[in-house]
């Protein structure tokens, strides 16, 4: 189909100098009282530069800055420290990242290869922004939504997914060319993952095609979901509910059939890569060799115990295995790898029980171990062949090591890693490409929002990114304290706690515990969080509650060997940690052990139901949000990774599912679910409620129409109002018990 390019839009360009060491200041009104209003009107949240994207040469940084009710894309020239607004967003809005599997990158825009323009997706269409001129050209104006637009390597074309097919836009002529034509959004998808890949393998990034380095070919996914079961998501707010049918493979059922093909733009033919005779596998990552001579595919068996890096010939499709990673339990898929220009491979492995980085030769032979940090590598930030430097983020050993993050530099030639950060707390890095040496350093701790600055290769601050403090000062909020508590079998568990700010020595206070659980999970962090959930916990502390969280022996703190404790059996390890938390709290003179509540969402909702049904009477009340009630209701990739196939572990699935023990509930429960939840389907909560009803067990429930796995808009505030009311009734601070302790 051929279409023309539409109108040109003029933009107002503003030049702004951001001096080093300063942020934009404006007169602040008197601080409001810390209430739910303050949480949801933004008074308790700081404003900072968001969605940063480096230019290809690493000398410019684009970001979004909000000033009052308006926001714009700004571009910072790092060397001069000057920033300017190049695109006023006005009435445009960004697509929500977790709305569905047809999303572009989190930033919502990207640089052209020459660094002269930005490609932005706003609403459903694409715009090309000339950075120097301050003008934007609208590239598409269609009823259909464009997804995952990407420049060709020479910047003359843009590939995009529309209606589940690949489309090529020529920027000079404005013409379009359809590259695939059988996508239908239900069974067949080209260039875009289906839900289960998007959620469980790609971390909610809709990546489904890859340009070759010279721009003559595109490698892409083709999904066939014909054999995947469908779940009905109904919009109940209608006389006759509208139904959206979602392809969703539950544990033990058939997965999509996935292929990776290489499409040659010159002739339009596709060569399908020969990734193996078994169709029941996962093709988890795709990359091109720098010279275009090979396509690398990471193949994961369905049991997820064997991960192989395949090197495939894009001409004939033949593949060979370079690296094999195996675990008795499961292999954790990672983005922390890099295929270098000379063919060497930086590869992550948990073979020691902790993730470290290793260097392999182009033919897959191990050269050396690159990192030996006391705990584990958290993420690989960059691997630069010219400088020989590797930048990575890591954390220390148990018991509290993983609560913090530190940025390190080491060499491709091996040697001791050098820390680039000195402050305790949570340090992150976003390294510029192109060998410029610049990197964004973000820092915060549990009680201070911190800062984001641009540093050079020597670690010197070049410029501070703009920020604006919250109306309510962080120091005026109740503070977290990190600690360890006695755990099972003599272990020490990481925990954190907020005490009521007006704590009196002769009073006992009720407690709200927040948890998540599951393999590699973590809620105990020394990092500033200003999400509604995190601020609500501080609000409840201010209202007279002790707030407490503890992570279990299968959490990030204890590495891969810790995670493996949960293999084939969920609930027991997590419950043991929460009971240890209750024991610790009960030993404190200011805690009323008879008024302890617990809550969690998603995996935390599951563990809340498991805790109440397997330890009745320990908690006075609980809120379970979007819980998995029956493990066979959840998807193949996530559930089978940890629990194995239901046919091979029927007992584990049965005994781990809270639904099995629903009739053991004895404590007050509020169960919450969004009726449009496409992640943990609402039938989980419905099934649990049905079993409680059959057993004559009282409960409270809140089902929210049109809400997905994460609530938005008025429903989110309503949820926290409902939880506040529930805990106030069940654990009211007005009913504090006098302590016999001085």
Catalytic residues: 602, 677, 709
DSSP 684-702: HHHHHHHHHHHTT---EEE
721 SS3 class = helix
Residues 6+ apart with CB under 8 A from 294: 288, 311, 312, 313, 314
Half-sphere exposure of 186 (CA within 13 A, CB side): 7
Q: Give exposure, 683-709, as e/b (b: 16+ Cβ within 10 Å).
A: bbbbbbbebbeeeeeebeebebeebbb
Name the E strands within 42-181. Answer: 47-48, 50-54, 60-67, 70-77, 82-88, 109-111, 117-122, 125-130, 135-138, 146-151, 157-162, 165-170, 176-178
CA distance 736 to 723: 19
Burial class (CB in 10 A: 0-12, 13-18, 19+), 73: buried
List, edge to edge, every strand of the sheet that includes 366-369.
338-339, 345-349, 356-360, 366-369
Helix axes 572-586, 603-614, angle to 10 degrees: 70
Taken as a whole, the chain contains a residue count of: 742
What backbone phi and psi angles, to 5 degrees, belong to 535?
Answer: -70, -35
Residues 6+ apart with CB under 8 A from 513: 547, 548, 549, 550, 578, 581, 582, 585, 596, 597, 598, 599, 619
CA distance 83 to 75: 5
Helix axes 532-542, 714-731, angle to 10 degrees: 30
DSSP 83-118: EEEEEE-TT--PPPTTS-S----TTSEEE-TTSSEE
**Closest to 94 in 3D by CA, of 85, 106, 84, 112:** 106
Which is it for the CA torsion 515, 519, 523, 529, positive or negative?
negative
**CA torsion 677→680→682→684, rounded to 10°?**
180
**CA torsion 89→95→96→102, rounded to 10°?**
-160
**Closest to 116 in 3D by CA, of 126, 127, 131, 128:** 131
CA distance 61 to 662: 53
Inter-residue contact 613 to 661 (CB < 8 Å): yes
What backbone phi and psi angles, to 5 degrees, belong to 499?
Answer: -95, 150
List, edge to edge, every strand of the sheet that includes 319-326.
281-288, 295-301, 306-312, 319-326
Q: How far is CA 507 from the centre of its chain?
A: 40
DSSP 347-382: EEE-TTSS-EEEEE-TTS-EEEE----SSEEEEEEE
CA distance 511 to 435: 51
Inter-residue contact 212 to 257 (CB < 8 Å): no
**Closest to 502 in 3D by CA, of 446, 473, 548, 541:** 541
Rounded to 5°, the CA angle 462-464-468 comes to 175
What backbone phi and psi angles, to 5 degrees, belong to 623?
Answer: -120, 125
């Amino acid at each position: 189909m051929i279409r023309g390019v539409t109108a040109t839009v003029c933009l107002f360009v503003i030049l702004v100098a951001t001096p080093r060491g300063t942020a934009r200041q404006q007169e602040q009104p008197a601080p409001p009282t810390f209430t739910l209003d303050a949480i949801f009107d933004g008074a308790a949240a700081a404003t900072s530069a968001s969605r940063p994207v480096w230019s290809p040469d690493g000398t410019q940084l684009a970001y979004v800055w909000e000033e009052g009710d308006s926001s714009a894309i700004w571009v910072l020239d790092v060397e001069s420290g000057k920033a300017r607004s190049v695109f006023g967003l006005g009435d445009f809005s960004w697509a929500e990242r977790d709305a569905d599997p047809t999303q572009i990158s989190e930033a919502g825009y990207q640089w052209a290869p020459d660094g002269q323009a930005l490609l932005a997706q706003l609403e459903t269409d694409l715009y090309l922004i000339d950075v120097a001129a301050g003008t934007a050209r609208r590239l598409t104006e269609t009823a259909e939504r464009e997804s995952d637009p990407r420049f060709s390597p020479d910047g003359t074309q843009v590939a995009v997914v529309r209606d589940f097919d690949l489309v090529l836009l020529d920027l000079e002529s404005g013409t379009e060319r359809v590259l695939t034509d059988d996508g239908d959004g239900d069974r067949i998808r080209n260039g875009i993952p289906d839900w289960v890949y998007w959620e469980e393998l790609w971390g909610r990034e809709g990546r489904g095609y890859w340009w070759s380095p010279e721009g003559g070919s595109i490698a892409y996914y083709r999904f066939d979901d014909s054999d995947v079961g469908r779940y009905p998501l109904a919009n109940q707010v209608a006389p006759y509910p509208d139904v959206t049918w979602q392809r969703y493979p539950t544990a033990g059922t058939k997965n999509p059939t996935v292929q990776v093909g290489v499409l040659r733009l010159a002739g339009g033919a596709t060569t399908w890569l020969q990734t193996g005779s078994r169709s029941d596998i996962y093709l988890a990552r795709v990359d091109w060799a720098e010279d275009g001579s090979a396509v690398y595919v990471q193949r994961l068996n369905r049991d997820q115990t064997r991960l192989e890096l395949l090197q495939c010939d894009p001409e004939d499709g033949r593949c060979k295995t370079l690296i094999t990673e195996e675990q008795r339990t499961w292999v954790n898929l990672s983005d922390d790898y890099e295929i270098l220009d000379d063919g060497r491979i930086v590869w992550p492995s948990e073979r020691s029980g902790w993730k470290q980085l290793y260097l392999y030769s182009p033919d897959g032979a191990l050269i050396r171990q690159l990192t030996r940090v006391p705990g584990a590598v958290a993420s690989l930030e960059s691997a630069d062949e010219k400088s020989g430097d590797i930048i990575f983020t890591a954390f220390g050993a148990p018991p509290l090591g993983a609560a913090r993050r530190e940025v390190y530099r080491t060499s491709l030639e091996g040697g001791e890693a050098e820390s680039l950060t000195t402050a305790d707390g949570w340090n992150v890095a976003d390294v510029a490409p192109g060998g410029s040496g610049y990197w964004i350093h973000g820092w915060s701790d549990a009680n201070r929002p911190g800062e984001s600055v641009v540093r050079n290769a020597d670690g010197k601050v070049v410029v501070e990114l703009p920020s604006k403090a919250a109306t309510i000062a962080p120091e005026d909020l109740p503070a977290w304290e990190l600690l360890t508590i006695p755990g099972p079998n003599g272990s020490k568990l990481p925990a954190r706690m907020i005490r009521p700010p007006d704590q009196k020595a002769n009073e006992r206070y009720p407690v709200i515990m927040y948890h998540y659980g599951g393999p590699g999970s973590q809620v105990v962090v020394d990092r500033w969080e200003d999400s509604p959930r995190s601020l609500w916990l501080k609000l409840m502390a201010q209202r007279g509650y002790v707030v407490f969280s503890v992570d279990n022996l299968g959490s990030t703190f204890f590495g891969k060997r810790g995670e493996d404790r949960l293999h084939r059996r969920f609930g027991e390890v997590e419950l043991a940690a929460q009971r240890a938390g209750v024991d610790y709290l009960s030993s404190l003179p200011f805690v009323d052990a008879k008024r302890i509540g617990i809550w969690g969402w998603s995996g935390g909702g599951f563990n809340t139901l498991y805790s109440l049904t397997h330890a009745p009477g320990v908690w006075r009340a609980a809120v379970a949000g979007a819980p998995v009630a029956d493990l066979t209701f959840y998807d193949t990739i996530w559930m089978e990774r940890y629990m194995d196939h239901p046919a091979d572990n029927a007992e584990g699935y049965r005994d781990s599912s809270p639904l099995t023990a629903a009739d053991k509930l004895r404590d007050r429960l509020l169960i919450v679910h969004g009726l449009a939840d496409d992640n943990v389907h609402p039938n989980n909560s419905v099934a649990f409620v049905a079993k409680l009803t059959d057993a004559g067990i009282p409960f409270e429930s809140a089902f929210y129409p049109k809400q997905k796995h994460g609530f938005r808009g008025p429903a989110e505030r309503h949820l926290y109002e409902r939880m506040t009311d529930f805990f106030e009734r069940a654990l009211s601070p007005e009913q504090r018990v006098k302590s016999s302790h001085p």
